[in-house]
């Protein structure tokens, strides 16, 4: 297993966000604003779903990496640290998924 982590990716994104490098894709996305960042996340999510449905394992891996990257860019744009997402996942895993879902307020 690789030693690469989402925490490492979050750090890379933070460094690139603050770099001021005009050639940085991360910086360009963040400068374009939340709507652009969220749009890219949505596009990558759809591409990952399509790769999964088509059974294309290689494309699914690539698109999944894109989804994770763009999710972390959106979190950065929203000033939400990955640690908060981890805490929410931990909170949810205390119960079964069905128990957790049943505890949510009705929409």
Q: Is residue 1 part of a domain?
A: no
The pTM of this model reads 0.86
Q: Is residue 89 part of a domain?
A: yes
The CATH number for 41's domain is: 1.10.287.1080
Domain that holds residue 26: 6-103
Whether the pLDDT of residue 73 is over 90: the answer is yes
For 21, what's the count of Cα atoms within 13 Å in the CB-facing half-sphere? 11
Please write the tens of the pLDDT for every residue from 80-91: 999 999 999 998
- What is the total count of domains within the chain? 1
Closest by CA to 64, choosing from 51, 48, 79, 77, is 48
> Of residues 107 and 70, which shows the higher confidence score?
70
Q: What is the mean pLDDT of residues 12-38?
A: 95
């Amino acid at each position: 297993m690789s030693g690469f982590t989402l925490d490492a990716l979050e750090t890379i994104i933070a460094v690139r966000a603050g770099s001021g490098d005009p050639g940085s894709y991360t910086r360009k996305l963040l400068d374009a604003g939340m709507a652009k960042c969220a749009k890219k996340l949505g596009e990558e999510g759809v591409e990952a779903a399509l790769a999964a449905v088509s059974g294309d394992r290689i494309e699914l891996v690539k698109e999944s990496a894109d989804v994770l990257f763009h999710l972390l860019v959106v979190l950065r744009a929203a000033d939400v640290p990955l640690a908060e997402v981890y805490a929410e996942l931990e909170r949810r895993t205390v119960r079964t998924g069905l128990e957790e879902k049943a505890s949510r307020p009705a929409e």
